Every structure is written in structure tokens, then in C-alpha cells.
Amino acid sequence: MERKVLEGRTAVVTGGAQGIGAAIARDLAAHGATVVVADLNRSGAERVGNELGGDCFGLGVDVGDEAQVAGLCTEVTARTGRWDILVNNAAIVPFTSWDAVDFREWRRIMRVNLDGVFLMCRSASDEMRKRGYGRIVNIASNAFFAGTPNMAAYIAAKGGVVGFTRALATELGTFGITVNAVSPGLTASDGVLGGPHAASFDFVQSLQAIKRRGEPEDIAPVVTFLCSEEARWVTGSTFNVDGGHVRH
């Protein structure tokens, strides 16, 4: 999509300070949206927000904290007058053998990767319902389909995200709000490049139909499409964007 199809829309991207979220924030802004980059890393969010230009800005938020999410909602509507698009991208991406995950670690992952999606959707949908229009895109993972090792709690949370996407689409359909999910495969984000998942690139590439590394810029355009008015008839769906790793 080349046109400024998102002109006049306000979009919030969580976890937008780096990686896939930053690529999504850039693509939405390139299509004309006023983007609010929301991240636990406040300085990183402000850096990306300022870089996007226009009325875009960044702010610090922990998506797992109800009061902070409420504060974000107030600031977004006060500064831009509306809230049309939400991309739930923030997540913890662990690599821990199953039996090394205790209940505290399980809860830490659920709090951000699943509770955070609920809290953000709860806040955003109230604003979207007021205007009878909205686009919500939740970032899941193809690990949910593949059952990839060393990510059991993460995969359980992403399964919750896919299920919640289907249910919320039903609840919000009559308000002009669509809810979809995008499932990336292994992607060369900042987080992955700096951690243990980077060792999996060669093996994962051997499973893909397209034999190269997935980049954050491969994910963003699919999200932008689902955030556009043209995607009006698509809701409750989950799209694998992974170079043909998982054929779902």
C-alpha cells in the first residue's frame, strides 16, 4: 500500500521502542497515521516517536499495569483527540527449558503477554466504540502452531491471544471494530538478535518455503493492511507471516 490510507487516524503500538514493534510504528506512520509508541522503555519509545515526525510521540507504559494503561488512554485521547488503531506487540520472548519455569516466571510471562493484551483492548475498545470504528491487531507467534521448544509459557499466552482475538471479534463486530492477529515466525528483531533465539535461524530457514531470515519489515505491511479501512471484512482471523515455515 503506497497511499496515506491511515491519514487522520491515531494508532498505538505497544513494545514499539525496538524490533518488530518499531517497524510497525514506522510503517503505520508512513501510511499517514499519528502513531503513539508505547513501551516499558520510555526513552526508546520517545526516540522512535520523535523520529516518526508529525504529531507522533512516545511514552512509557507497562502494559501489565492497569493504572498505567488507563493513564496511557487518557494521554492518547487528550493529545490526539481519538484512538482508532491498536497494535498489541509488546511481549517477553523467553527461551527457557520447560522444567526451569517456576510459577513466578509463568505469571511474569502471562502478565505481559496475555494480561497486557486484555488491558489494552479493554481501554482502546471503549474509545473506539464511542466513534463506531476501530482496528485491533494482536501479535501472536507461529510458535503457537509449531509448539516450538523452550517457550511453553509463551506459547500458552499466545494461544490465549489467538483465542481472545476470535472472541473479541464477535463482541466488537457490531461497533465497526475488527480484531485480528498476525503470527510472525522467527524474525531478526533487536530482542532475538541479542539473545539465544539467534542460534535457530539456520534450522528455521531450512523449514521455510522462502530461504532467508525474516525481518521486522516483512511483518509490518501485513499489520498495516489489517489496520486499513480496506480490511473491513476481515475479523477474528490469524495470519501467519513466516516465509512459509508453518503452513497454516
Site residues (vs ligand NAD, CB under 6 A): 14-15, 17-21, 39-41, 61-64, 89-93, 112, 116, 139, 141, 184, 186-187, 189-192
- Name the nearest CA neighbour of 49 among 77, 70, 28: 28
Among this protein's residues, is 154 annotated catalytic?
A: yes
Residue 168 interacts with, from ligand 4PL, ligand NAD, none (CB under 5-8 Å by kind): none
Residue 148 interacts with, from ligand 4PL, ligand NAD, none (CB under 5-8 Å by kind): ligand 4PL
* Binding region for ligand 4PL (CB under 6 A) out of 32-40, 59-67, 82-90, 135-143: 135-143
CA–CA distance, 10 with 99 (Å, rounded to integer): 43
- Do 233 and 176 contact (CB within 8 A), yes or no? no
| Catalytic one of 154, 164, 225, 239 | 154
CA–CA distance, 64 with 77 (Å, rounded to integer): 20
Instruction: Taking each helix axis as running N to C, give the angle between helix 42-52 and helix 19-30, from 0 to 180 degrees, rounded to the nearest 10.
Output: 20
Give min distance, CB of 46 to ligand NAD, in A: 12
Give min distance, CB of 87 to ligand 4PL, in A: 16
Residue 36 interacts with, from ligand NAD, ligand 4PL, none (CB under 5-8 Å by kind): none
- CB neighbourhood size of 190 (10 A): 15
Give min distance, CB of 240 to ligand 4PL, in A: 10
Query: CB under 8 Å to 109, separation ≥6 — which residues?
Result: 92, 94, 153, 154, 157
Taking the least distance from each CB to ligand NAD, the nearer of 66 and 133 is 66
Determine, following the binding rule CB under 6 A, whether residue 142 of this chain makes contact with ligand 4PL: yes
- Select the residue interacting with ligand 4PL from 185, 214, 216, 243 (CB under 6 A): 185
SS (H, E, C) 45-98: HHHHHHHHCCCCEEEECCCCCHHHHHHHHHHHHHHHCCCCEEEECCCCCCCCCH
Residue 204 interacts with, from ligand 4PL, ligand NAD, none (CB under 5-8 Å by kind): ligand 4PL
- Do 24 and 89 contact (CB within 8 A), yes or no? yes
* Three cell numbers written together for 206: 531450512
Taking the least distance from each CB to ligand NAD, the nearer of 6 and 22 is 22
- Name the nearest CA neighbour of 163 among 187, 181, 143, 186: 181
Query: What residues are annotated to the active site?
Result: 154
Residues that bind ligand 4PL (CB under 6 A): 93, 141-143, 146, 148, 185-186, 197, 200, 204
